[in-house]
Amino acid sequence: MLLVVTGKKSVRSLVAFITYWSAIKGAVKRITGLYQTISSTLNVEFAYDRRKPLIKDLNLVAEPGKTVAVVGTTGSGKSTLVKLLFRLYDPCEGSIAIDGQDVRHVRLSGLRRAIGIVPQNPTLFNGTIRENIRYARLDATDEQIVDFMEFQDGYESKVGEGGVRLSGGEVQRLAIARVLLENPKIVALDEATSAVDTLTEAEIQKALQRLGSGRTMFVIAHRLSTIVRAHKILVVREGKIVESGTHGELLAKGGEYSQLWTQ
């Protein structure tokens, strides 16, 4: 800049330099992007129907490698938070960012590669467990697929139409295995509500711990064990985060969370 002011360089070369520098910086951002810190501006708002705002004053930070559990009554807006993150919808006000970059400025294909989703009811087709897991990454080797966890009847057993031959716990573990195979940096998990026995519960928790290791995980949580293990719990009511903290902190506070807990 000084060289331009003193007349030693032309404005044209300064413009060329800035363009060149922006291109390099852009490229570096794509290469080094950790895709791990999720944050929002203070004023994020969202409405499906403009007359009825749903998400209000959303203030959210999820730190790299940490598990954030979202809890709240039905219809409080938990799934909508995940939809905003994944850009199925954009906020009406404010913005959500990953590593400080507004998700609206990240290429959609890149964003969806960076975030893995474990849905409550995964779509399963009538093939083997191995084939259903491979669906997440068609070029995966057999070794890569069996690396994650064990299934009682083995990887070659058929799951049946829509997974009817699997137990609720196996369906959840299969959905987790798919995302482990995808290996994204961020995971959004909509935890199934189905009750499972203690042994299955322990297996699901083991799979979840592996999933959360080194990843930022955002869980719409229903299981006690998941909530207790989370690094941070967000309590959502009518689209607002009304409390946040660890399980111990929130219980000690004696507010909304402790009421949810005793219900």
Residues 71-90 that bind ligand ATP (CB under 6 A): 72, 74-80
Distance CA 258, CA 252 (A): 8
- CB closer to ligand ATP, 231 vs 237: 237
Q: List the end-to-end C-alpha distance of the chain, in Å, as a whole number.
A: 65
CB of 79 to ligand ATP, least distance (A): 3
x/- contact string, 187-226, with ligand ATP (CB under 6 A)?
----------------------------------------
CB of 237 to ligand ATP, least distance (A): 10
Q: CB-wise, 79 or 144, nearer to ligand ATP?
A: 79
Question: Taking CB under 6 A as the rule, does residue 48 contact ligand ATP?
Answer: yes
Cβ proximity to ligand ATP, 112 vs 237, nearer residue: 237
The least distance separating ligand ATP from the CB of residue 129, rounded to whole angstroms, comes to 27
Q: Smallest Cα–Cα separation from 114: which of 39, 27, 183?
A: 183
Out of 35, 44, 46, 54, the only residue in the binding site for ligand ATP (CB under 6 A) is 54
Decide the pairing of beta strands 186-190 and 216-220: parallel
Rounded-to-integer distance, Cα 193 and Cα 85, Å: 22
- List the beta bridge partners of residue 46: 55
- Size of residue set near ligand ATP by CB under 6 A: 10
Nearer to ligand ATP, 116 or 239 (CB): 239
Residue 263 binds ligand ATP, judged by CB under 6 A: no
Size of the chain in residues: 263
Q: Which is nearer to ligand ATP, 76 or 216 (CB)?
A: 76
Sign for the CA dihedral angle at 138, 142, 147, 152 comes to: positive
User: Based on CB atoms, which residue is closest to ligand ATP, 55 or 133?
Assistant: 55
What residues contact residue 166 under an 8 Å CB cut-off, 6+ apart? Answer: 124, 159, 160, 174
Minimal distance in Å, beta carbon 121 to ligand ATP? Answer: 12
In 3-state terms, what secondary structure has residue 103?
A: helix
Structure tokens at 109: 């294909």
What is d(CA 159, CA 191) in angstroms, rounded to the nearest whole number?
Answer: 20
Q: In the complex, what is the shortest distance from the CB of residue 49 to ligand ATP, in angstroms, rounded to a whole number?
A: 6
Three-state DSSP class for residue 123: coil
Element counts in the chain: helices (H) and strands (E): 11, 12
Distance of closest approach, residue 260 Cβ to ligand ATP, in angstroms: 12
Summarize as ranges the residues that interact with ligand ATP (CB under 6 A).
Answer: 48, 54, 72, 74-80
